[in-house]
Amino acid sequence: MIQINNKLKTADLSEKLKRFWQLSEQKIHLIETQYDESKGSPVFTINGKYSTRGWTEWTQGFQYGSAILQFDATGRKKSLENAKKKILDKMAPHISHTGVHDHGFNNVSTYGNLLRLMQEGKIPFNDWEKNFYELALKISGAVQASRWTSIKTGGFIHSFNGAHSLFVDTLRSCRVLTISHMLGHVLQGEGDIKISLLERALQHIQATADYSVFYGEGRDTYDVRGRTAHESIFNVKDGNFRCPNSQQGYSGFTTWTRGLAWAMCGFAEQLEWLDFIDGKELQPFGGKEVLAAMMLKAAKATCDYYIENTPVDGVPYWDTGAPELNRMGDYLNNSSDPFNAFEPVDSSAAAIGAQGLLRLGKYLTGKDETEAGDRYWQAGLCVIKTLLNEPYLSTDTKHQGLLLHSVYHRPNGWDFIPAGSKIPCGESSMWGDYHIREVCLYLHRIINNENYYTYFNCVK
């Protein structure tokens, strides 16, 4: 269980954040100058060098998005200009990609961040450039929404596994639907029928809350409050839910911790977005109060589960039911050990989950739930403090990764195992590096009294 330090202050991390951004700039420079993009998008490191993995190109937006976040935090114009050029040259296929559920990753991290910087006055305003970013986000949201499976209780955006498959991580792709809707766009179908992107986003969020998250209400023998299933399987002929499953976790009845983290972060930021939306728009879907209650129930449950099922320093093992954890003794009451002989940790889950903890804490404090808000906020700070230190922060000037001990796909054996180790360790992932930058930017802007950082700051 995470050992929450209630005396830790946000400002206490200021010096660590300065060091972090210095290291981050070094890593971006290494990738810009050393990585061969003709091989595909960088996915994870092998012996400290980024390599690719041809499954889907879901990490390219994180590569260029990282450079945009670096500019946001430090004003490094070279990062910004290089990212803008690469986005123009390489990201267009991601806008119209009909075969993936990752639009909220690739396109909000790039076009969304650039539009946000322009709306915030951090880069010069230009009508053509603004229209270009908006058009990309409009189309991306509509294409994402077209991957639709109807079920008895609504519907969901299906994963690349097929129409039967709801992934918990796709919750974060709802960002691109909500942005596209706020920009006035719709998905137009057969006979010019206009399909609401707001409706599809809300139905997907509801389906994720209903089927991907457990609440300890007797759903099955393994129904523990707050745990998540990576994949939920449906019968596409009758719209009925069939069973939980997993692609990257150990099983459908254990909790893959990065999937858990996607839920934590996704529900927390959608709660923030819900506050931003005019309540009249939400009346046809049950109203703001009902929707907020659904999202808050899921956010609290997942964040509580993370706190209770993670080692004291805030970095989880890759799956809470991983088969060799039983050989590690009282691992939840000790610090995480990325060099153990049994099961790998996943620092990328910690980076994503920390943002969920912080955002939920901030949200609840704003709703006068101070005690609960403080608990989540302080837990998030404790996780970040761990990640900003070795052995998780990469200080080797030759290593291209920023956040060490990230895991991609343990069941498939895709992660590099160094000589002398029995488990993957010491390597980085592009999503881990992006999300540690994202949560550090979140804290950086709070410490420096800048505009509160949300994905929907790109829409005014």
* Contact partners, residue 33, CB within 8 Å, separation at least 6: none
Q: Which two tokens stand for residue 440?
A: 């550090």
Other C-beta atoms closer than 10 Å to the C-beta of 351 total 31
The predicted structure's pLDDT at residue 140: 98
Question: What is the tally of structural domains in the chain?
Answer: 1
Give me the DSSP letters along 332-391: GGS---TT-SS--B-HHHHHHHHHHHHHHHHHHHHTT-HHHHHHHHHHHHHHHHHHTSTT
The predicted structure's pLDDT at residue 55: 72
The predicted structure's pLDDT at residue 403: 98
Q: Which two tokens stand for residue 336?
A: 């995480």
Q: What is the pLDDT of residues 101-148, one digit of tens each?
A: 999 999 999 999 999 999 999 999 999 999 999 999 999 999 999 999
* pLDDT tops 80 at residue 318: yes
* pLDDT tops 80 at residue 260: yes
Whether residue 142 lies inside any domain: the answer is: yes
* pLDDT tops 80 at residue 56: no
Whether residue 412 lies inside any domain: the answer is: yes
Region of residue 239 (phi > 0: left; psi between -120 and 50: alpha; otherwise: beta): left
Q: Please state the rounded mean pLDDT for residues 277-301.
A: 97
Whether residue 5 lies inside any domain: the answer is: no
Q: Please state the rounded mean pLDDT for residues 346-360.
A: 98
Other C-beta atoms closer than 10 Å to the C-beta of 216 total 12
Q: Which two tokens stand for residue 353?
A: 């989950």
Share of the chain above pLDDT 70, in %: 100
The strand ranges marked E within 158-282 are 165-167, 187-188, 194-195, 231-235, 240-245
Angle between helix axes 127-145 and 174-182 (nearest 10 degrees) is 130
Whether residue 176 lies inside any domain: the answer is: yes
Domain around 180: 10-458
CA distance 303 to 452: 21
The predicted structure's pLDDT at residue 57: 84
Give me the DSSP letters along 273-323: HHHHS-HHHHGGGT-HHHHHHHHHHHHHHHHHHHHHTS-TTS--BSBTT-T
CA distance 453 to 244: 34
Give me the CATH number covering residue 410: 1.50.10.10
Q: Are 176 and 107 in contact (CB under 8 A)?
A: yes
Whether residue 14 lies inside any domain: the answer is: yes
CA distance 388 to 385: 5
The predicted structure's pLDDT at residue 340: 98
Q: What is the pLDDT of residues 183-223, one digit of tens each?
A: 999 999 999 999 999 999 999 999 999 999 999 999 999 99
The predicted structure's pLDDT at residue 25: 97
The predicted structure's pLDDT at residue 390: 98
pTM of the model: 0.98
Whether residue 4 lies inside any domain: the answer is: no
The predicted structure's pLDDT at residue 110: 98
CA distance 206 to 276: 18
Whether residue 255 lies inside any domain: the answer is: yes
Whether residue 3 lies inside any domain: the answer is: no
Report the residue count for the chain. 460
